[in-house]
Structure 1
């Protein structure tokens, strides 16, 4: 028997903040470590290593904050629109690395903010289906504001994580408690319902497909 998630607004805000902090704390910590090396070391090679670490970590922290601003933030007043070109830029900055690539086929338009926020959060959901990295193909389906999205991931050991479908549907995980990890798919489901979209997932071989269609 499934139980609907009944989460206080303050708890939702707190868990989302924890999620953002979790994403940012690692690169920020690396910057601090790099600065400590610069203070303590006289070896030129170590100083060069520290400067490289600081530069890479600062870029990573910036990318994660820019993504969070669009994916979780207010992004303007009610009824505001977001440029899908900006969404592509922050999604690539957040997701792409030496293990994971993004193939983006979404036209550059201004779209309702909740629709774009949904797409960005579905990108995060998509990464959870390829734990060892791979490719994420993003395609716009339909036309205009009524159109949807299809995300296809390909990678070794691809899978649909336990409880993911339930969390997207607003159902509590086993034990009933949400943490900073589980809050993101739950929030994705909230966005989908607020924007009037129905989500579906399918797994075949080393590929997972996630679709968002107007309900």
Structure 2
């Protein structure tokens, strides 16, 4: 039986690409819809609505692509470092909406790229714990490369999604195969093990605490 932790590199790349496409297809589709309205409508108010839709969707698509480039992409050569200030910028662009707020309390520093990629992927994990939106507070624990991260979420119907800790641990899902839905937490687990970090969850009232601590 093929397990998630034994996922072929080509399959891993394909599933990550599927995840990125899933994130950008909605705003890109909205841009196409807006362009169709501009072509078919003569009403000035509808044209303005279409222009507003196109502008908003273009910003959203750009923010999601910038986030994906840092969270999933190479972001420099082997051994490169990433500024956590850049991570904050793309995180705020990705999170900005009417439902969710982000409190970023990570000091600005240059950290190894896989550690910063882990932080951004943990942010996606945190988003999954508050399906109806809420607040995400991100902070650093310890100092520099020897430290870790803590993400605290709060929101209505906060929960630890089923199988999420399992996917993070690299354990095979039911059926023994992994899909685009599970690839992001699986990838987060790969990053965590690469940098010597253990991830744990605690459901506390109307929120979830995610702790990423050095092993």
2:4 and 2:86 map into 1 onto residues whose CA distance is 34
Displacement after TM superposition at 1:173 (Å): 1.2
Secondary structure at the aligned position of 1:5 is classed as: helix
1:58 and 1:108 map into 2 onto residues whose CA distance is 28
Q: Tell me which of the two structures has the higher relative contact order, counting C-alpha pairs closer than 8 angstroms and 6 or more residues apart.
A: 2
Displacement after TM superposition at 1:207 (Å): 1.2
Q: Where does 1:102-181 land on structure 2 (aligned, <5 Å)?
A: 102-181=102-181
Q: What is residue 16 of structure 1 aligned with on the other side?
A: 16
Secondary structure at the aligned position of 2:33 is classed as: helix
1:4 and 1:42 map into 2 onto residues whose CA distance is 53
Secondary structure at the aligned position of 2:130 is classed as: coil
Q: What is residue 67 of structure 1 aligned with on the other side?
A: 67
Q: Is the 8 A contact 2:111 2:145 kept in 1?
A: yes
Secondary structure at the aligned position of 2:180 is classed as: coil
TM-score, normalization: structure 2? Answer: 0.97
Root-mean-square deviation (CA), in Å?
0.9
1:195 and 1:74 map into 2 onto residues whose CA distance is 16
Q: What is residue 89 of structure 1 aligned with on the other side?
A: 89
- The total of aligned residue pairs comes to 213
Q: Tell me which stretches of 4 or more aligned residues in structure 1 moved more than 4 Å.
A: none
Task: Give unmatched runs, 5+ long, in structure 2.
Answer: none
1:175 and 1:34 map into 2 onto residues whose CA distance is 41
2:128 and 2:134 map into 1 onto residues whose CA distance is 11
